[in-house]
Chains A and B, each alone.
Chain A
Amino acid sequence: MTSVTVIDLLKKNQILELLEEGKRVDGRAFDEPREIKIEINAIPKANGSARVFLGDTDVLCGVKIQPDRPFPDMGDKGIFMCTAELLPFSHPTVETGPPRDDVIELARVVDRGIRESHMVDVSQLVIEKDKSVVGVFADIVVIDYDGNLFDACSYSATAALLASKTPKWTMVDDTVTLVEGEESQLPTTTIPVSVTMGKIGNHIIVDPNGDEWASMDARVTITSDSDGNICALQKGGSDGFTLEEMHQCGDIAVRVGAKIREIIKESQKGSQ
């Protein structure tokens, strides 16, 4: 990701020169994300799924919902977990084996954005307190890479969770039993949307593509919820932001995020 694409200095210079003239390599405005296409429930075996194309970045999230044991100190709450993985064909430099630090960061940032927004209402996912709860697993795989996996993964998880139907279980004689034919929408409270911005020179750009991603000096991912509050943030990269830039990024994230939230809502039509 930050280091996978070996981009030559010429390309970086070209990107920077264009930014100085107020232009981006692919002609977008600085605060304009790429086209977002969302395909809901492409994987019928999952309880919900979403394939998201953010420009040429292509990711798929499948949600599995199944009974699980609660965490010891959280007996009155269900479990939500989000993972992310780069499939080896998503980029020539991706290697199989244990995930690298950048992939671990990706999975954790996406998980945190959704978790901290309290999107999934885990208090409604208890089968029997301290004994059995419902676990919601959102597993994301990256199919093709062209920059900004944070947002593509986040949108796919959010869209897949919104599209998810949860089966119903009850306790019968101390065993978790499926109640046949009773499915309901997964309880959700809000729609978190992350917006990732890159800093190249002194310019802030929304949704960096693969070439821009490889040229960035720093980045920040800001997640906002349906009320327009900021609920998670991650700064990355080896340069810093000024206070003023950080204020500006917060405003952009909420403003651009609101538009993207409408696209995610729109994707759910016809799936209910």
Chain B
Amino acid sequence: MGGRDATMVLLDENGIRCDGRKIDEPRRIMIKAGGLKNADGSAYIEFGNNKILVGVFGPRDVHPKHMSNTDTGILRVRYHMEPFSVDERKRPAPSRREIEISKVIKEALEPAVMLEKFPRTAVDVFIEVLQADGGTRCAALTAASVALADAGIPMRDMVAAIAAGKVADTIILDVNNEEDQAGQADMPVGYMPSLEKITLLQLDGVLTPEEYKKCVDVGVQGCKVVYELQKKALTDKYFGKGGD
């Protein structure tokens, strides 16, 4: 279980990766706006083999009350994985990893949401990972932006996210699970394309200063591709086919 295949070729001589992609090619991405009946806004994303549902409530009353702020609304994010979402069953209670990712995603979304318009209220973002396959935080952040927009919450921009990384001494776009486990570096990037602001950036692994710059560049370019898919999901729901 979870054993690594030491013989796996991450990048072959033709520049093709272990899942058949080119170095700058993202996995298949499908985003759907809406879908949940009880949530104020929602989105579903399939990002490679990741399957993630996001539901948004608010702006609404804050419980417990002491968390409310008289100057601004607050954003609360919960990222959670289902026990059956990974190879080995995960205990249902939130882990330290999930709590950290919740915080990182919250702070990536905050610059995008006009919380100051809703003092004393909360906007709650609930992220549920139904199936995980590397890069869940980027997929979750991408879907959360669409769900917030679907809830009609005023936003400055949407945050698009994708990971860049390094495998076999090459900078690649959209790190999958195998590449994350066996690769040299993984860098999730969250970016607001219209405002040109990076709102999420993490790095696991070793990069030279040049590689670091290239990695951020590749990530930001990837976010622009994801951004178009986010806009398409909302357009399909509100102005075209595919809505419910």
Residues of A near any B CB (own CB < 8 A): 42-46, 49, 56, 58, 60, 62-64, 66, 83, 85, 87-92, 95-96, 137, 139, 141, 143-146, 178
Contacts and interface: CB of A to CB of B under 8 A. Distances in A.
Nearest to B38: A91
B170 to A, nearest CB: 28
A64 B131 contact: no
A58 B42 CA distance: 14
Interface string B79-103: 0101111111100100000000000
Nearest to A146: B37
B38 A92 contact: yes
Interface string B110-148: 000000000000001010101111000000000000000
- Give the interface centre of B60, B84, B131, B132 by most chain A CB atoms within 10 Å: B84
Contact of A44 (B37, B49, B54, B89): B49
Contacts of A88: 55, 78, 124, 126
Contacts of A137: 83-84, 89
A87 B133 CA distance: 21
Contacts of A143: 36, 53, 128
Interface string B33-60: 0001111001000000101011111001
Nearest to A67: B1
Given A43-B85, A45-B87, A83-B83, A89 B131 contact: no
A144 B39 CA distance: 8
A207 B132 CA distance: 33
Interface residues of B, number: 33
Interface of B: 1, 36-39, 42, 49, 51, 53-57, 60, 63, 78, 80, 82-89, 92, 124, 126, 128, 130-133
A56 B42 CA distance: 16
Given A89-B39, A137-B83, 16 more contacts: A43-B85, A44-B49, A45-B131, A46-B84, A66-B88, A87-B53, A87-B126, A89-B38, A89-B55, A89-B128, A90-B38, A96-B78, A139-B83, A139-B89, A144-B36, A145-B38
A178 B2 CA distance: 12
Contacts of A145: 38
Contacts of B55: 87-90
A73 to B, nearest CB: 23
17 contacts: A43-B51, A43-B85, A45-B132, A49-B84, A62-B83, A62-B85, A66-B1, A83-B83, A87-B128, A89-B36, A89-B56, A89-B57, A91-B38, A139-B89, A143-B53, A144-B37, A144-B38
